[in-house]
Chain A
């Protein structure tokens, strides 16, 4: 009598989709998957897992169309990987895919860190966490560096309270939101080890591999393209060499380091052009990163030039 009109599904709807293709066409999820495939370099295991999840959701939809019982699967995930391996980017896409497949209602991503969940005094944490959860409902809650929630060295830390509320919501409101925990591999492992409840509620542990030099190069080229720049003569080779050297240095943050390197190259290009005040600058001049812009990097200075 009450909410049944909204929740119940007609046993067999003759017009409903029967084939995988029909569901895909209906939800346009294929377009997002292709984009994912095309836009993101590498990340083969991640893409494979996302395909698996999409397949499961598509089949579930077909089952439901035929009146078979299809309990919503638990889709809470953990993304582990080094900095700059695309965890946030993939989370954004994930929200879109889940929305297209009708798993979440709105498909927005709420990205938070410890600060947004944990309060500063007694009684502050619960309302704060709940507010964030309410905002994330109908979408995806992305908790970056989730292991900071748990501070074993301080037993009065309010992080534990936030974790408890999270666990409760992850269990009871599975159809309202999807929680994605992200962070570095080792620390996430330690976090899950000390919070077994959390570990068992996260169904998908997805590891983001580091990028190889080739992948980094093509990421760099895509970034440049996106900013309407391009490599000048020989600059591509110098950038390859740069990446090779930078990889060996500490604090390498994959795609993020590539972006920073390119931003600095743009800076140097700008000051190079700025120095020559009389020259009329063509479109070509303004959009080309030259060898000199890259060579000036500190990374080359640290090693003797060949």
Chain B
């Protein structure tokens, strides 16, 4: 199906690659810290592409020198939400930028059913499209 290549969600950086190892995640976080980004960890079980704001796992981490602390939190989050999507975001607070510079998924559910595409006929021959994750048919917390 077009919307579910290899049964994997593709959002953010590196999402077409195999899952990052802890060492690789550390290197990425190192880069973020070097550039003075504030690194945050977020999770969700509703991976709709328009669901921009995921739940934050703790506060974003400021003034850190070393990625070990963030990796610790990543692993805490994985342990708490083993079958949710977890991503690491790096926020750049430079004036004029003030947005997320990096975002990559570090944890995903074992089985990702992907998205369904629904077509609705409107007035005339107009067609409206709607996509929704198959998983979100179930209530929150039981999706994956």
Contacts and interface: CB of A to CB of B under 8 A. Distances in A.
B22 A176 contact: no
A137 B64 CA distance: 8
B21 A139 contact: no
Nearest to B58: A127
**Chain A facing B: main interface SS:** loop
Given A108-B65, A127-B58, A139-B65, A134 B70 contact: yes
B116 to A, nearest CB: 35
B23 A135 contact: no
Contacts of A86: none
User: Number of contact residues on A: which range applies?
Assistant: 10 to 19
A5 B65 contact: no
Contact of B65 (A2, A127, A138, A173): A138
A167 B95 CA distance: 40
Contact of B66 (A2, A3, A131, A137): A137
Contacts of B73: 134
A265 interface: no
A2 B69 contact: no
B72 interface: yes
A201 interface: no
A97 to B, nearest CB: 17
B64 A6 contact: no
A106 B22 contact: no
A127 B56 CA distance: 15
A134 B61 contact: yes
A129 to B, nearest CB: 12
Contact of A106 (B61, B66, B70, B72): B66
Nearest to A175: B68
B23 A2 contact: yes
Given A135-B65, A138-B65, A3 B23 contact: yes
B63 interface: yes
Interface in A133-175: 133-135, 137-139, 173
Contacts of B65: 106, 108, 135, 137-139
B22 A3 contact: yes
A96 to B, nearest CB: 14
Interface string A53-91: 000000000000000000000000000000000000000
Nearest to B61: A134
B66 A105 contact: yes
Given A134-B70, A137-B64, A137-B69, 13 more contacts: A2-B21, A2-B22, A3-B23, A5-B23, A134-B61, A134-B64, A135-B65, A135-B69, A137-B65, A137-B72, A138-B67, A139-B65, A176-B66
24 contacts: A2-B21, A3-B22, A3-B23, A5-B23, A6-B23, A105-B66, A127-B58, A131-B59, A131-B61, A134-B61, A134-B64, A134-B69, A134-B72, A135-B63, A137-B65, A137-B69, A138-B65, A138-B66, A138-B68, A139-B65, A139-B66, A173-B72, A176-B66, A176-B69
